[in-house]
Amino acid sequence: MTGQVRGVQLARLLGQWHALPGRRRSPDYAALAGAVRGLLADGRLPLGVRLPAERELAEALRISRTTVTAAYRQLRETGHLASRRGAGSWTMLPGNHRVASTGLWTPLDDREMLDLGVAALAAPPQLLSAARAATEDLPRYLSGAGYHPTGIIELREAVADAYTARGLPTSAEQIMVTSGTQHALDLVLRLALAPGGTVLVESPTYPNALAALAGRRARVSTHGLAADTGWEPDLLLGSLRQTRPKLAYLIPEFQNPTGHLMPATLREQVVAAAHAVGTDLIIDESFVDLSMDGTELPPPVATYDRHSRVISIGGMSKPYWGGLRIGWVRASAPQVQRLAAVRVGVDMASPVLDQLVAVHLLADAEAIVADRRVQLAVQRDALLGALAHRLPEWRVTVPRGGVTLWAELDGPVSSALARAAEEVGVRLAPGPRFGLDGTMERFLRLPFTLPAADLVEAVERLAAIRYDLDRADRQRWREPAVIA
């Protein structure tokens, strides 16, 4: 990643650095260095960015330049900063520590294991009847060759109607059916990003999106989300303006993994800023149907788009079933045609039968989605209750939708916890999986997609091993976690 963080931006990120707990006896420069290390460890300050010049940061923080000089010196000594005379100072981690953030990520078939690595629900009961109804429809298609690169028309219409119902008038020509949202992302990247192109993503973000970007050899920069409030408008808009990426990939509805919902004003500002600097936006709406607690959704990001800058992607996996492998892209009609041309070199088309199942599920969307929201709210509350009871030191922001909690742990133990959890039959996706740099060891994504009793049991097991970790050989914590 390349880029620069300005004095005022770093000052904003540092917040109350001088009043951090436990600093009573440490001098200002050490507290400042500690706060910068904290931002790096949490992934809020990316690796490889240039820090402001000492004088600029001193002005922004209203402290003496000598304090900043001493803090930078300490950061260099601890391996968190690399400086070159006349060129500036860049963030890094000691020993070039990196943790794999991409790789194989499979649900387990081991029924004994409580799998909290995958954030997806089992199929709804309506799936079987939809599948039966789909086989009845199939004869209508059997006289043709069955290749529909943009999808069968009835599914494209159903998806377009759902966008229109959300207040975003959409025609079937603007929809392309894909084999899942991940496939949609990959196709859009193939169309819109030359190898080595620049992409801005949230940090933390969805690991398989990072894998898709790595597959395109994208140069990725990050916008660090605050654990409690999510996007920081000035910083996000500033990053867009400064780095002028070719693409930005954002998950505005119940972001995976943090669960945050982007407000309407920021949606509008992001689209305007993206247009001003020539950035195209890929908006992943995987969780848009899954709001809870009566939370009203802001308008779709594409509502603010006047220049075909926004490509929306979404799919059936989260509200319905991942095993269907049905997703889609919403773009301009010419973009859809170009995507179809790209697709011919990949997989030609999605299965007709699965698309027909999706049509039947979407016809029953209101009832199915209403059940899912109730189910998810019950499971979320069971998970929150178990955490409050058994792991009260962990901090969570209650998500108003989606399927995941982003827990802030009581120490940088996420990978160590995931390793130990396997041994007690719980599979976890540790924090570093959701970032680029091996940071975010103080965070853990916890999906609430398993039945409530399983979630409570998983938290029981985690609580037991959490306290054992403190007694274990600390060396184990420092090994980088590689999950393949």
Ligand X SMILES: Cc1ncc(COP(=O)(O)O)c(C=O)c1O
Our CA angle for 330, 336, 337, nearest 5°, is 170
- Only one of the segments 54-62, 76-84, 314-322, 459-467 lies at the binding site for ligand X (rule: CB under 6 A); that segment is 314-322
203 is a site residue for ligand X (CB under 6 A): no
Cα–Cα distance list, 197 to 208, 352, 375, 428, 436 (Å):
18, 34, 41, 32, 16
Report the candidate in 56, 45, 54, 41 with the shortest Cα–Cα distance to residue 14. 45
321 is a site residue for ligand X (CB under 6 A): no
- Residue with CB nearest ligand X? 180
- Only one of the segments 64-72, 176-184, 268-276, 444-452 lies at the binding site for ligand X (rule: CB under 6 A); that segment is 176-184
Residues 326-355 that bind ligand X (CB under 6 A): 327
Q: Which of 256, 258, 335, 350 binds ligand X (CB under 6 A)?
A: 256
Q: Which of 5, 33, 119, 250 binds ligand X (CB under 6 A)?
A: 119
- x/- binding map, residues 270-299, to ligand X, per CB under 6 A? --------------x-x-------------
- Only one of the segments 44-52, 108-116, 179-187, 417-425 lies at the binding site for ligand X (rule: CB under 6 A); that segment is 179-187
Q: By C-beta, is 149 or 322 nearer to ligand X? A: 322
Our CA angle for 133, 371, 122, nearest 5°, is 70
Instruction: For residue 224, give both structure tokens.
Output: 């660090």
- Strands ordered across the beta sheet of 404-408: 114-116, 426-430, 443-447, 404-408, 395-396
DSSP-assigned states of every residue in 292-311: -TTPPPPPPGGGG-SSS-EE
| Dist. CA 114–CA 127, nearest whole Å | 24
| Dist. CA 283–CA 270, nearest whole Å | 11
Other beta carbons within 10 Å of 465 = 17
Q: Which of 9, 89, 239, 317 binds ligand X (CB under 6 A)?
A: 317
176 is a site residue for ligand X (CB under 6 A): no
Amino acid at 98: R
175-178/327-330 β-pairing? antiparallel
Instruction: For residue 191, give both structure tokens.
Output: 């169309």
315 is a site residue for ligand X (CB under 6 A): yes
Q: Which of 206, 249, 304, 434 binds ligand X (CB under 6 A)?
A: 206
253 is a site residue for ligand X (CB under 6 A): no
Q: How far is the CB of 30 from ligand X (least distance, A)?
A: 39
Q: How far is the CB of 303 from ligand X (least distance, A)?
A: 20
Q: How far is the CB of 301 from ligand X (least distance, A)?
A: 14
- Only one of the segments 80-88, 143-151, 165-173, 175-183 lies at the binding site for ligand X (rule: CB under 6 A); that segment is 175-183
Cite the DSSP H helix spans in 364-472: 365-390, 414-423, 452-471
449 is a site residue for ligand X (CB under 6 A): no
- Strands ordered across the beta sheet of 280-284: 175-178, 327-330, 310-315, 280-284, 247-250, 198-203, 219-224
Residues 213-252 that bind ligand X (CB under 6 A): 251
Q: By C-beta, is 70 or 251 nearer to ligand X? A: 251
Amino acid at 326: I
**3-class DSSP assignment, residue 186:** helix
Q: Which of 181, 279, 335, 439 binds ligand X (CB under 6 A)?
A: 181
Q: By C-beta, is 60 or 199 nearer to ligand X? A: 199
Q: How far is the CB of 160 from ligand X (least distance, A)?
A: 18
The per-residue b/e assignment along 205-214, b for 16 or more CB within 10 angstroms, e otherwise, is bbbbbbbbbe
182 is a site residue for ligand X (CB under 6 A): yes
Q: How far is the CB of 468 from ligand X (least distance, A)?
A: 30
Q: How far is the CB of 322 from ligand X (least distance, A)?
A: 5
Chain residues that interact with ligand X, rule: CB under 6 A: 119, 180-182, 206, 251, 256, 284, 286, 315, 317, 322, 327
